[in-house]
Amino acid sequence: MIAIDMNPAKEKWARKFGATDFINPRQLPEGKRIQDHLIELTDGGLDFTFDATGNVSCDSDLTTRP
């Protein structure tokens, strides 16, 4: 399970509940999109995503292929 959050304080909490990876999009290299990072990390992309923020743009960002 990959947890994504801009608040680094949530990493410990996410790992406690099973996250194997924690990504802070603000810490990605300049110009690198979260989508591209996830494709590299997972060797091709994700089969399923779950958004718990309620922010529609987050959901569409993760389900849109480059």
> 13-64, pLDDT tens digit by residue?
999 999 999 999 999 999 999 989 999 999 998 888 887 776 666 655 555 5
Report how far residue 6's alpha carbon sits from residue 34's, in angstroms, rounded to the nearest whole number. 12
pTM comes to 0.76
* Structure letter (DSSP) for residue 3: E
* Structure letter (DSSP) for residue 29: P
